[in-house]
Structure 1
Amino acid sequence: MYLAKIYVTYKPSILDPQGEVIKSALHRMDYAGVQTVTQGKYFEVKLQATDVDSATAETQSFTESLLINQNTETYRFDLSLVADEVDV
Protein backbone atom coordinates (compact mmCIF):
# COMPACT_ATOMS: atom_id res chain seq x y z
CA MET A 1 0.00 0.00 0.00
CA TYR A 2 1.23 3.49 -0.82
CA LEU A 3 0.48 6.85 0.75
CA ALA A 4 0.36 9.79 -1.67
CA LYS A 5 0.78 13.23 -0.11
CA ILE A 6 -0.42 15.71 -2.73
CA TYR A 7 0.26 19.46 -2.55
CA VAL A 8 -1.78 21.74 -4.83
CA THR A 9 -1.03 25.45 -5.36
CA TYR A 10 -1.82 28.13 -7.91
CA LYS A 11 0.48 28.39 -10.92
CA PRO A 12 3.02 31.23 -10.54
CA SER A 13 1.17 33.34 -13.13
CA ILE A 14 -2.14 33.17 -11.18
CA LEU A 15 -2.94 35.63 -8.40
CA ASP A 16 -3.38 33.88 -5.05
CA PRO A 17 -5.95 36.12 -3.28
CA GLN A 18 -5.91 34.21 0.02
CA GLY A 19 -2.12 34.24 0.05
CA GLU A 20 -2.15 38.00 -0.51
CA VAL A 21 -4.64 38.53 2.34
CA ILE A 22 -2.49 36.43 4.68
CA LYS A 23 0.66 38.32 3.64
CA SER A 24 -1.08 41.64 4.25
CA ALA A 25 -2.26 40.50 7.69
CA LEU A 26 1.26 39.35 8.59
CA HIS A 27 2.65 42.74 7.58
CA ARG A 28 0.06 44.46 9.80
CA MET A 29 1.24 42.19 12.63
CA ASP A 30 4.80 43.53 12.11
CA TYR A 31 6.14 40.53 10.21
CA ALA A 32 7.57 42.84 7.57
CA GLY A 33 10.11 40.27 6.39
CA VAL A 34 7.41 38.07 4.85
CA GLN A 35 7.85 38.36 1.10
CA THR A 36 5.27 35.92 -0.29
CA VAL A 37 2.58 33.57 0.98
CA THR A 38 1.25 30.71 -1.08
CA GLN A 39 -1.98 29.09 0.04
CA GLY A 40 -2.99 25.70 -1.27
CA LYS A 41 -4.67 22.36 -0.75
CA TYR A 42 -3.28 19.16 0.74
CA PHE A 43 -4.54 15.61 0.20
CA GLU A 44 -3.49 12.24 1.61
CA VAL A 45 -4.59 9.23 -0.42
CA LYS A 46 -3.81 5.60 0.41
CA LEU A 47 -3.81 3.33 -2.62
CA GLN A 48 -3.10 -0.27 -3.48
CA ALA A 49 -0.47 -0.60 -6.20
CA THR A 50 1.94 -3.31 -7.24
CA ASP A 51 4.95 -0.98 -7.43
CA VAL A 52 6.01 2.65 -7.16
CA ASP A 53 5.71 3.23 -10.92
CA SER A 54 2.05 2.20 -11.01
CA ALA A 55 1.35 4.20 -7.82
CA THR A 56 2.97 7.23 -9.46
CA ALA A 57 0.96 6.86 -12.66
CA GLU A 58 -2.31 6.39 -10.79
CA THR A 59 -1.65 9.38 -8.52
CA GLN A 60 -0.85 11.61 -11.50
CA SER A 61 -3.98 10.44 -13.29
CA PHE A 62 -6.52 11.03 -10.51
CA THR A 63 -4.85 14.28 -9.44
CA GLU A 64 -5.05 15.73 -12.95
CA SER A 65 -8.57 14.37 -13.49
CA LEU A 66 -10.16 15.42 -10.21
CA LEU A 67 -8.03 17.22 -7.63
CA ILE A 68 -6.70 20.18 -9.62
CA ASN A 69 -7.89 22.75 -12.12
CA GLN A 70 -5.22 22.36 -14.80
CA ASN A 71 -5.78 25.93 -16.03
CA THR A 72 -4.89 27.58 -12.73
CA GLU A 73 -3.24 25.04 -10.42
CA THR A 74 -0.11 22.96 -10.26
CA TYR A 75 0.83 20.11 -7.96
CA ARG A 76 3.55 17.91 -6.60
CA PHE A 77 3.33 14.74 -4.58
CA ASP A 78 5.38 12.41 -2.44
CA LEU A 79 4.79 8.66 -2.30
CA SER A 80 5.73 6.42 0.58
CA LEU A 81 5.25 2.73 1.15
CA VAL A 82 3.04 2.06 4.17
CA ALA A 83 2.01 -1.13 5.93
CA ASP A 84 -1.45 -2.52 5.26
CA GLU A 85 -3.85 -1.78 8.08
CA VAL A 86 -5.06 -4.85 9.93
CA ASP A 87 -8.39 -4.91 11.79
CA VAL A 88 -8.20 -6.63 15.16
Structure 2
Amino acid sequence: MKARVHVMLKDGVLDPQGEAVRRALGGMGFDGVEGVRQGKVIELDLAPDTGEETVREMCEKLLANTVIESYRIEMA
Protein backbone atom coordinates (compact mmCIF):
# COMPACT_ATOMS: atom_id res chain seq x y z
CA MET A 1 0.00 0.00 0.00
CA LYS A 2 1.16 3.52 -0.72
CA ALA A 3 0.33 6.88 0.78
CA ARG A 4 1.13 10.27 -0.67
CA VAL A 5 1.19 13.26 1.68
CA HIS A 6 0.99 16.76 0.19
CA VAL A 7 2.35 19.40 2.60
CA MET A 8 1.87 23.14 1.96
CA LEU A 9 2.36 26.29 3.99
CA LYS A 10 -0.92 27.61 5.37
CA ASP A 11 -2.46 30.74 3.87
CA GLY A 12 -0.95 33.84 5.42
CA VAL A 13 2.42 32.22 6.12
CA LEU A 14 5.23 33.85 4.16
CA ASP A 15 6.79 31.58 1.54
CA PRO A 16 10.29 32.91 0.70
CA GLN A 17 11.07 29.94 -1.56
CA GLY A 18 7.87 30.48 -3.51
CA GLU A 19 8.65 34.18 -3.85
CA ALA A 20 12.17 33.39 -5.12
CA VAL A 21 10.68 31.07 -7.75
CA ARG A 22 8.15 33.74 -8.78
CA ARG A 23 10.91 36.33 -9.21
CA ALA A 24 13.10 33.88 -11.14
CA LEU A 25 10.23 33.03 -13.49
CA GLY A 26 9.63 36.75 -14.08
CA GLY A 27 13.32 37.19 -14.84
CA MET A 28 13.04 34.41 -17.41
CA GLY A 29 10.20 36.21 -19.20
CA PHE A 30 7.22 34.45 -17.60
CA ASP A 31 5.44 37.67 -16.65
CA GLY A 32 2.00 36.16 -15.98
CA VAL A 33 2.98 34.46 -12.69
CA GLU A 34 1.48 36.49 -9.84
CA GLY A 35 2.28 34.12 -6.98
CA VAL A 36 3.96 30.84 -6.16
CA ARG A 37 3.49 28.60 -3.13
CA GLN A 38 6.04 25.83 -2.77
CA GLY A 39 5.33 22.62 -0.91
CA LYS A 40 6.47 19.04 -0.71
CA VAL A 41 5.16 15.59 -1.51
CA ILE A 42 6.10 12.63 0.67
CA GLU A 43 5.48 9.11 -0.64
CA LEU A 44 5.27 6.30 1.88
CA ASP A 45 5.41 2.56 1.15
CA LEU A 46 3.26 0.98 3.84
CA ALA A 47 2.37 -2.45 5.11
CA PRO A 48 -1.05 -3.54 3.72
CA ASP A 49 -2.79 -3.14 7.08
CA THR A 50 -1.63 0.46 7.68
CA GLY A 51 -4.62 2.79 7.82
CA GLU A 52 -5.05 6.44 6.99
CA GLU A 53 -5.33 7.27 10.69
CA THR A 54 -1.77 5.99 11.19
CA VAL A 55 -0.54 8.18 8.33
CA ARG A 56 -2.41 11.14 9.85
CA GLU A 57 -0.59 10.49 13.14
CA MET A 58 2.74 10.46 11.24
CA CYS A 59 1.87 13.83 9.75
CA GLU A 60 0.91 15.33 13.08
CA LYS A 61 4.06 14.07 14.82
CA LEU A 62 6.75 14.44 12.14
CA LEU A 63 5.90 14.98 8.49
CA ALA A 64 4.19 18.38 8.77
CA ASN A 65 4.68 21.34 11.08
CA THR A 66 0.98 21.81 11.75
CA VAL A 67 1.52 25.29 13.21
CA ILE A 68 2.43 26.67 9.77
CA GLU A 69 1.66 23.82 7.35
CA SER A 70 -1.40 21.94 6.20
CA TYR A 71 -1.39 18.48 4.66
CA ARG A 72 -3.54 16.24 2.52
CA ILE A 73 -3.30 12.44 2.42
CA GLU A 74 -3.92 10.21 -0.61
CA MET A 75 -4.09 6.48 0.05
CA ALA A 76 -3.53 4.10 -2.88
* TM-score normalized by the length of structure 1: 0.79
In the alignment, is residue 7 of structure 1 matched against residue 10 of structure 2? no
Aligned pair count reads 76
Q: Distance in 1 between the 2:43 and 2:29 partners?
A: 34
Pair member with larger Rg: 1
Q: Distance in 1 between the 2:3 and 2:70 partners?
A: 16
Q: Deviations over 1:24-60 (max 9, x none)?
A: 110111101112211112111111243xxx6111111
State the secondary structure of the residue aligned to 2:17: helix
Q: Deviations over 1:37-86 (max 9, x none)?
A: 11112111111243xxx611111111111111111111112110xxxxxx
| Equivalent position of 1:77 in the other structure | 73
| Equivalent position of 1:57 in the other structure | 53
Relative to structure 2, which stretch is displaced further, 41-50 or 63-72? 41-50
Q: Distance in 2 between the 1:32 and 1:8 partners?
A: 27
* TM-score normalized by the length of structure 2: 0.90
Residue identity matched to 2:62: L
Q: Distance in 1 between the 2:73 and 2:41 partners?
A: 10
Query: Which aligned segments of 4 or more residues in structure 1 are displaced greater than 6 angstroms?
Result: none
For the aligned residue pairs, the C-alpha RMSD in angstroms reads 1.2
Judge conservation of contact 1:7–1:40 (CA < 8 Å) in 2.
Answer: yes
Judge conservation of contact 1:5–1:43 (CA < 8 Å) in 2.
Answer: yes
Runs of 5+ consecutive residues of structure 1 not aligned to the other structure: 81-88
| Equivalent position of 1:45 in the other structure | 44
Runs of 5+ consecutive residues of structure 2 not aligned to the other structure: none
| Equivalent position of 1:23 in the other structure | 22
